[in-house]
């Protein structure tokens, strides 16, 4: 059973701090990695995609991928209360390609 | 460009009934994936359609089925509803199939089975 693991949280950080969200996956054949944000009662929206080892930055968000360790992370700099949401890690399944989602980490940013 | 649309947004059914949910992808997107989201299990993959063909299927019973039309719109059907089918059903569209291309989600259909 191929799995994507995330700490369920809640992860609580003060406004302005860096939030660090982590994800591990079991399928060594995975090639594509995504972070989605889901507000309560809403559908997931894409934050970032990453395909190769290293860091990828987009505004306040940085995704980090380490395929050897089967680990992907998301850093949110200067966290805002509006960042409070559940963050879903999604990994492409190696052989068939469909996405496997983690159960998400709930982030709470306190003013 | 209009986003992914799903109808209906809310649905209440009783055990044993069947239900059909509809998804219209972003214009130009040919791949549609369906997911079931519950508090306990999270987002689970149901199936993916591309060019009117089911490309792959998740680990769900045969009561769950789907299809895709020539205009890329997709429907999923659940027959003989069970209480455990109560969930948020999400569809996502992408340009290309598989997990390499970004998937964009619709607002979902909230199904309640009584």
Which range has the worst mean pLDDT, A20-24, A69-73, B98-102?
A: B98-102
Q: Is A8 on the interface with B (CB under 8 A)?
A: no
pLDDT over 70 percentage in chain B: 99
Whether the pLDDT of residue B100 is over 80: the answer is no
Judge: B100–A92 Cβ closer than 8 Å, yes or no: yes
Which region among A57-66, A93-102, B16-25, B43-52 has the lowest average model confidence (pLDDT)?
A93-102
B20-49 pLDDT, tens digit each: 999 999 999 999 999 999 988 899 999 999
Contact of B39 with chain A, judged by CB distance below 8 Å, is answered with no
Using CA atoms of B55, B97, A42, A13 in order, give the dihedral in degrees to the nearest 10: 120
Of A46, A51, A98, the CB nearest to B45: A98
Task: Give the distance from residue A105's alpha carbon to the nearest chain B alpha carbon, in angstroms.
Answer: 11
Predicted confidence at residue A7, as pLDDT, reads 87
Show the 3-state SS of chain B. CCCCEEECCEEEECCCCCEEEEEECCCCCCEEEEEEEECCCEEEEEEEEECCEEEEECCCCCCEEEEECCCCCEEEEECCCCHHHCEEEEEEEECCCCCCCCCEECCCEEEEEC
Mean pLDDT of A81-110: 91
Contact B45 A97 (CB under 8 A): no
Instruction: Spell out which residues of chain B touch residue A43, defining contact as CB-CB under 8 Å.
Output: 90, 105-108
């Amino acid at each position: 059973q191929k799995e994507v693991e995330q700490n369920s949280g809640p992860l609580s950080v003060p406004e302005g701090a860096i939030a660090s969200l982590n994800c591990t996956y079991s399928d060594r054949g995975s090639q594509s990695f995504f972070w989605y944000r889901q507000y309560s009662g809403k559908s997931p929206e894409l934050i970032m995609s990453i395909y190769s080892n290293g860091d990828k930055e987009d505004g306040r968000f940085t995704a980090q991928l380490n395929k050897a360790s089967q680990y992907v992370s998301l850093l949110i700099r200067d966290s805002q209360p509006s960042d409070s949401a559940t963050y879903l890690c999604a990994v492409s399944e190696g052989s068939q390609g469909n996405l496997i989602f983690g159960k998400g980490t709930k982030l709470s940013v306190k003013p | 460009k209009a986003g992914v649309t799903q109808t209906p947004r809310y649905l209440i059914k009783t055990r044993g009934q069947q239900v059909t949910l509809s998804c219209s992808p972003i214009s130009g997107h040919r791949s549609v994936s369906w997911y079931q989201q519950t508090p306990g299990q999270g987002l689970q993959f149901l199936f993916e359609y591309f060019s009117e063909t089911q490309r792959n299927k998740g680990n769900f019973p045969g009561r769950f089925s789907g299809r895709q039309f020539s205009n890329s719109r997709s429907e999923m059907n659940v027959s003989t509803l069970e209480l455990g089918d109560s969930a948020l059903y999400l569809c996502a569209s992408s340009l290309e199939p598989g997990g390499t291309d970004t998937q964009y989600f619709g607002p979902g259909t909230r199904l309640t089975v009584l």
